[in-house]
A and B are shown apart, each in its own frame.
Chain A
Amino acid sequence: EADIYQTPRYLVIGTGKKITLECSQTMGHDKMYWYQQDPGMELHLIHYSYGVNSTEKGDLSSESTVSRIRTEHFPLTLESARPSHTSQYLCASSDFADEKLFFGSGTQLSVL
């Protein structure tokens, strides 16, 4: 079944740790995105990619980095997590000709 997957669903880590949030889609979409969502707040675009080896920063500045080595995979990395990074991270994808986004279930990150 075509879908978009995020792991882990929940992550609690200590300050200074390096983490990678995984996102994979099996829909063959060219475009992928990372949004950050704080409780009761808007979703903010932090990274996007329109294809392999293409990554761009979004509207909200983020200390995280992303890579797009394969079409289906768009991981997000924090080299040194801090409590200010505590948030929900949502991955999404879309077809090149359509603006409809398909979202994963999200990763709730808590940095202690």
Chain B
Amino acid sequence: QQKVQQSPESLIVPEGAMTSLNCTFSDSASQYFAWYRQHSGKAPKALMSIFSNGEKEEGRFTIHLNKASLHFSLHIRDSQPSDSALYLCAVSSGTGGYKVVFGSGTRLLVSP
């Protein structure tokens, strides 16, 4: 059964800093890797996703995937207080939405 773990559990960074969040998964056949962001009291919202090894950048956010090491990460450049939220990584181990497994989350606080 797919195991998805995130680190760190929580993180405090100053405004303007680079933030790095990590996610490891156990199923080497996993095909889809995504990050969701959940502000307090709100619903999770998809941020970015990636399918193949390498990097993908969208604005201040970069996702990096290394399937061989069963690891992917999210990097936030110039972190803003509005980035403060719970970040959930999600991994799909096959076709079908029911195959998506969420990590336990990293709670990020960006201090002004």
A and B physically associate: no
* A interface with B by C-beta (< 8 Å): none
* B interface with A by C-beta (< 8 Å): none
